[in-house]
Amino acid sequence: MTFTRATLNPHGSSIDRMSRVGVVLLNLGGPERIQDVGPFLYNLFADPEIIRLPSPALQKPLAWLISTLRSGKSQEAYRSIGGGSPLRRITEQQARELQSLLRQRGIDATSYVAMRYWHPFTESAVADIKADGMDQVVVLPLYPHFSISTSGSSFRELQRLRQDDNAFRKLPIRCIRSWFDHPGYVQAMAELIAEEVRNSDDPQQAHVFFSAHGVPKSYVEEAGDPYQQEIEACTALIMSRLAELMGHPNPHTLAYQSRVGPVEWLKPYTEEALEELGEAKVNDLVVVPISFVSEHIETLEEIDIEYRELATEAGVVNFRRVRALDTYPPFIEGLADLVTTSLDGPEVSLDAAAELPTKVKLYPQEKWEWGWNNSSEVWNGRLAMLGFSAFLLELISGHGPLHALGLL
């Protein structure tokens, strides 16, 4: 393909088509083999954006403990879907198709996959960008909705690498913070949902059930994470477009899955909402993995196996799950539109992309408050950290009450 110096984009202004553009697709990553599960979990829980602790010194020991305790159960989950996550394969296919489409549009683009917790890591993508001599970079998170623990963590990892690398620091970067309301994404989601609604026994009564990945409630209320607001707005946009496609509205529910640990997460929880719909004698349930754009463990195992079984036991007759976007052509078109628009607009720095309206505070309260509130939850966290520290000390020393009781 021949790249011309300048071409008018759909907005009427010109983009320098001789510029070599690196398009970085950010994603979570996932273990590709059973033996990868433990190291993947360690990387995940070692990220302070996933588990916030009062002391950085506790992060890695806690990550080791959690990954050790959870590995067995997680390995069984991955065995149930074939022995590993398909996320890398799908993301790399998305990258190839996006690159091909951008080049068809006359943009000299090369796509790079940057996973946060497993191969290919973000460092590898940065090294490849420099080796390929890119002139500028567009960072596109494959998370439609911004959250501290997803896009935010990936942006901050890029910030860290940029600060330590003079060559990478000189490259102009345009970041796409979130795109939950992009027409291409909304249209693609509505089309795939419509497929399953039409297959229902009674399309007009089919209940559309959005299951989004949850986050701790404190992220939203104390740190200013816009995730819940963006998820709710996105759900409304998709349901509006679905009604236009179907010619009628459908009842719907939004719930949150994949919570971990004792703290309160966004509600309603998916498992509780499914039980309520079963008790309400919902016949046709169309389940939508709204915050996931690729098939992976949380769609293939958590939704397809765990939640399907729970819903069936609760009384739901027909459980249909909308397929993930993967390489659905309208979705890839939407991603290409996002990149083109980003190139046409002002440079958006990593700092601006990762910014939150308020500063994240790990322990916000200054005094004790009685009752089940933020204060008591944080004090519970402090006590848990003391207990965890004592547990680690006993593991290292080989002496203590747990050894005396024969528990260690």
pLDDT digits (tens, 9 = 90+) for 293-333: 999 999 999 999 999 999 999 999 999 999 999 999 999 99
* Whole-number pLDDT of residue 391: 53
Q: Measured at the alpha carbon of residue 184, what is the angle toward residues 197 and 113, in degrees to the nearest 5?
A: 110
Contact between 206 and 250 (Cβ < 8 Å): yes
> Which neighbouring-strand residues pair with 255?
211
- Give the CATH fold of the 183-321 domain: Rossmann fold (3.40.50)
Mean pLDDT of 17-22: 86
* Helix/strand/coil for 27: strand
> Which neighbouring-strand residues pair with 174?
138
* Whole-number pLDDT of residue 369: 35
- Percent of the chain clearing pLDDT 70 (strictly above): 83
Strand-by-strand arrangement of the 136-141 sheet = 109-115, 21-27, 136-141, 173-175
- Least confident interval from 147-151, 227-231, 352-356: 352-356
State yes or no: pLDDT of 8 exceeds 60: no
* Whole-number pLDDT of residue 403: 46
State yes or no: pLDDT of 394 exceeds 80: no
Rounded to an integer, what distance in angstroms lies between the CA atom of residue 325 and that of residue 295? 8
375 or 266: whose pLDDT is higher? 266
Mean pLDDT of 278-298: 97
6-180+328-354 maps to CATH 2.60.260.20: no
* Whole-number pLDDT of residue 358: 59
- Least confident interval from 123-127, 148-152, 164-168, 351-355: 351-355
* Whole-number pLDDT of residue 193: 98
H or E element, residue 125: helix 122-131
Topology agreement, domain 6-180+328-354 and domain 183-321: yes
State yes or no: pLDDT of 257 exceeds 70: yes
Rounded to an integer, what distance in angstroms lies between the CA atom of residue 71 and that of residue 274? 27
Q: What is the DSSP letter of 108?
A: -
State yes or no: pLDDT of 382 exceeds 60: no
Q: If you average pLDDT over every residue of the chain, what do you get?
A: 87
| Alpha helices (H) along 150-208 | 153-163, 166-169, 183-198
Rounded to an integer, what distance in angstroms lies between the CA atom of residue 59 and that of residue 56? 5
Q: How far is CA 244 from the centre of its chain?
A: 28
* Whole-number pLDDT of residue 4: 37
* Whole-number pLDDT of residue 356: 78
Relative to beta strand 109-115, strand 14-16 is unpaired
Rounded to an integer, what distance in angstroms lies between the CA atom of residue 205 and that of residue 72? 41
* Whole-number pLDDT of residue 7: 42
State yes or no: pLDDT of 371 exceeds 80: no
Q: How far is CA 165 from the centre of its chain?
A: 27
State yes or no: pLDDT of 11 exceeds 80: no
* Whole-number pLDDT of residue 51: 81
Q: How far is CA 277 from the centre of its chain?
A: 26
Contact between 269 and 257 (Cβ < 8 Å): yes
Residue 56: band (very low, low, confident or very high) from pLDDT cuts 50, 70, 90: confident
* Whole-number pLDDT of residue 49: 86
* Whole-number pLDDT of residue 388: 54
* Whole-number pLDDT of residue 233: 98
Rounded to an integer, what distance in angstroms lies between the CA atom of residue 375 and that of residue 378? 5
The amino acid present at 402, given as its one-letter code, is L
What are the sequence ranges of the domains in the chain?
A: 6-180+328-354, 183-321, 376-404
